[in-house]
Structure 1
């Protein structure tokens, strides 16, 4: 997986301005705001919503004690999350294609 380095990492060291503690603070901020981690968590959340929807549907089909309302709510949550993920993917692909069309 390709790592995206933030712009801050390309700036000159800030230790001469505010000491070494400022540099450590920036490094900690970079670790917390890793796009790859955010993306991975979002996909895992989407997957868990899909699994919950499947379980609710299966329970309802098997006649177990679950309300139709709960089945429909979990199904809609999973559906809306999937649609949002697809739209985000489409926008990312469009942005990539636009960047590729730019002349250097």
Structure 2
């Protein structure tokens, strides 16, 4: 059992730390949120565009429109849940006594 953990540990560490950026390239939390909101907005715009194309007859595949619509819906729901968790964490920090 010990040999397996010795083999797995370097592999796991490499997988975890390969994605770590140097401090000079680390984006701030605010920038990460802005980028995520831009992606959600792009998904919403793509869904609207495909829906309008379906209405006008430019798109024949209904499944493409439904997939884009579901992606936009799920990304918006996830964004709202993240927002709720951030607000909840902020409120919890504000309740702490110093």
| Equivalent in 40, 43, 47 of residue 49 of structure 1 | 43
Post-superposition Cα deviations, 1:21-45, rounded to whole Å, max 9, x if no partner, equal xxxxxxx524423222211110110
Alignment length, in residue pairs? 77
TM-score with structure 1 setting the length:
0.69
Task: Note the 1:79-94 alignment, pairs <5 A.
Answer: 79-94=73-88
Post-superposition Cα deviations, 1:29-87, rounded to whole Å, max 9, x if no partner, equal 24423222211110110000000000010000111133100000000000000000000
TM-score with structure 2 setting the length:
0.73
Gap runs ≥5 in structure 1: 1-27
Asked whether 1:61 is paired with 2:62, we answer: no
Q: Which has the higher contact order (CA 8 A, sep 6+)?
A: 2
Distance 1:102 1:40 in 2: 28
Gap runs ≥5 in structure 2: 1-21
RMSD: 1.3
Distance 1:65 1:53 in 2: 12
